[in-house]
Structure 1
Amino acid sequence: MPTFILLTHERELTRESNSGRIAKTRLGQHCQQVVWQRKAPDPALLALIAQQQVGLLFPAENSTALPVVDLAELNLSGELGDVSNGTLQQENFTQHLTQHLAKPLPKYFILLDATWQEAGKMYRQSPYLQSLPSYRFTGDYVSGFTRRRNQQSEGLCTLESIAVLCALSGDVTMAGQLLVDLQYHNQKAFDC
């Protein structure tokens, strides 16, 4: 599984709707948080980027398309459910994905942990992000994230994006656990 770096807009630190903090808690050492600063990029992040093992999940103009993992197919136990002609077990799922990935996933993934508007601003104002190989999800999918309004169609929240990347890297169980966490997170909005 890649290590995820949440490049977090400072406003996200106080938003109860932020899903990135759930991923950070669930994934432990596999998820780091760096607060984005336009004028003072994090030196450790820049050093990691210099090693050329980092990809950016952002739908930039020349981004590499990643195959669709239908989030609805990941059931609550973290197993992959019925896919086309039968149940696909985790080993078969991993083999299936390997055949459809043009190249191996990067060792580190940066995700812009912000609203879509803020993420666009972060990308435009950070040349070091624009220089990274970028990746995007393709296909028809609907976000299960219900805690924010005015979301982009076919845009996933941070937690869903990490779940998809976990599944693409072969960890379907973790992907399922993250989606269960998202369901609980969504429920909080209605428990108040």
Structure 2
Amino acid sequence: MPDSSSSAPEMADNCPQHVDPATGHPRPPRREFKARGSFVIRCEGCKLPELNCLCPYKVEAESGVQVWLITHPLEHNKPTNTGRLIADVLAPTRVFTWYRTAPDEVLLSLLTDERYAPFVVFPDDQPDYAHRVVDIEAVKHERKQRIPVLILLDGTWRQARRIFRKSPYLDGLPVLPLRTQRLTRYRLRKPASDAHLCTAEVAAELLRQAGESEAANSLDDYFDAFNHSYACSRRYEKIETPSPAMKRLLEKRHAQQCASGSQA
């Protein structure tokens, strides 16, 4: 989908990048990251170019629906990855790195935890798993007793399909396709189709459909701020006037800081 614990997102990756998770043998060192933009000075917090740092617009939102990301290893090094935006906005978000031969033990344990009702988000375009396909009403129904979880496969469409097909622990989960007329607003990578939403957009749209409008709106605004900040930085343009989405985030952030101060 082009593109841990409870209170803060963390990388639930038990395998160091320099060790093969399946065998434990050392991996050969990877070449230094040299993609376009690799020499840009980036903020340590948001990973965006310091010219238009995203940190002033970071807000937190609460949601009765959680998001877990199964992220392809190559996505972690891409500053254009939008999965991390979800973790910024929704504190309970969990992030797992996908390895075909060594699934994350924490993820496997959580998938059998009766507190959660996980749904793997994936298109319903193949007949072999048609019996597992559900709609958003199934998510709403589960909220009565358990915590619904949207499992997003974070990578390119090719990577996401590989994760879906090569992860047996996902085989028994209900499949939740995203049904929407919404077109992507993501312009930092070229999608195969405007109907292919990036990871953050998929999360925001499903949260909205599940009744989590406040969380969806905050994530949408944060994504728009990210999109705008990154696009301007690519042109070496300093943002002088915040966009409408940025202004809404600044207002929310101020309100959250005031509420936090009054409770101290």
Instruction: Name the TM-score, length of structure 2 as normaliser.
Output: 0.55
User: Is contact 1:116–1:152 with CA below 8 Å preserved after alignment?
Assistant: no
1:163 Cα deviation after fit? 0.8
| Residues 114-133 of structure 1 mapped to structure 2, 5 A cutoff | 114-133=155-174
Q: Which deviations, in whole Å up to 9, do the C-alpha atoms of 1:142-172 show, x marking residues without a partner?
A: 1111111133442221111111222123221
More contact order relative to length (CA 8 Å, sep ≥ 6): 1
Alignment-derived partner of residue 190 in structure 1:
232
Answer with 1 or 2: which has the greater Rg.
2
Alignment-derived partner of residue 71 in structure 1:
none
- Aligned: 1:149 with 2:190: yes
User: How many correspondences in the alignment?
Assistant: 157
Instruction: Provide the alpha-carbon RMSD of the alignment.
Output: 1.8
Cα distance between partner residues in 2 of 1:20 and 1:178: 11
User: Is contact 1:116–1:151 with CA below 8 Å preserved after alignment?
Assistant: no
Q: Which moved more, 1:182-191 or 1:5-14?
A: 182-191
Does the residue aligned with 2:190 lie in a helix, a strand or coil? coil
| Residues 13-24 of structure 1 mapped to structure 2, 5 A cutoff | 13-24=76-87
User: Is contact 2:70–2:153 with CA below 8 Å preserved after alignment?
Assistant: yes
1:33 Cα deviation after fit? 0.4
Aligned-pair identity in percent equals: 29
| Residues 163-178 of structure 1 mapped to structure 2, 5 A cutoff | 163-178=204-219
User: Unaligned stretches of 5+ in structure 1?
Assistant: 67-100
Q: Which deviations, in whole Å up to 9, do the C-alpha atoms of 1:35-85 show, x marking residues without a partner?
A: 01110101121122224621101114322234xxxxxxxxxxxxxxxxxxx
Q: 2:88 is matched with which residue: 7, 16, 25?
A: 25
Cα distance between partner residues in 2 of 1:184 and 1:153: 19
Alignment-derived partner of residue 135 in structure 2:
65
Does the residue aligned with 2:68 lie in a helix, a strand or coil? strand
User: Is contact 2:178–2:206 with CA below 8 Å preserved after alignment?
Assistant: no
User: Unaligned stretches of 5+ in structure 2?
Assistant: 1-63, 235-264
| Higher normalized strand content (fraction of residues) | 1
1:118 Cα deviation after fit? 0.7
Cα distance between partner residues in 1 of 2:150 and 2:180: 20
User: Is contact 1:55–1:109 with CA below 8 Å preserved after alignment?
Assistant: yes
Q: 1:134 is matched with which residue: 164, 168, 175?
A: 175
Does the residue aligned with 1:110 lie in a helix, a strand or coil? strand
| Residues 90-109 of structure 1 mapped to structure 2, 5 A cutoff | 101=137, 104-105=141-142, 107-109=148-150
Question: Structure 1 residues 19, 169: CA separation in 2 closer, same or farther (over 3 Å shift)?
Answer: same
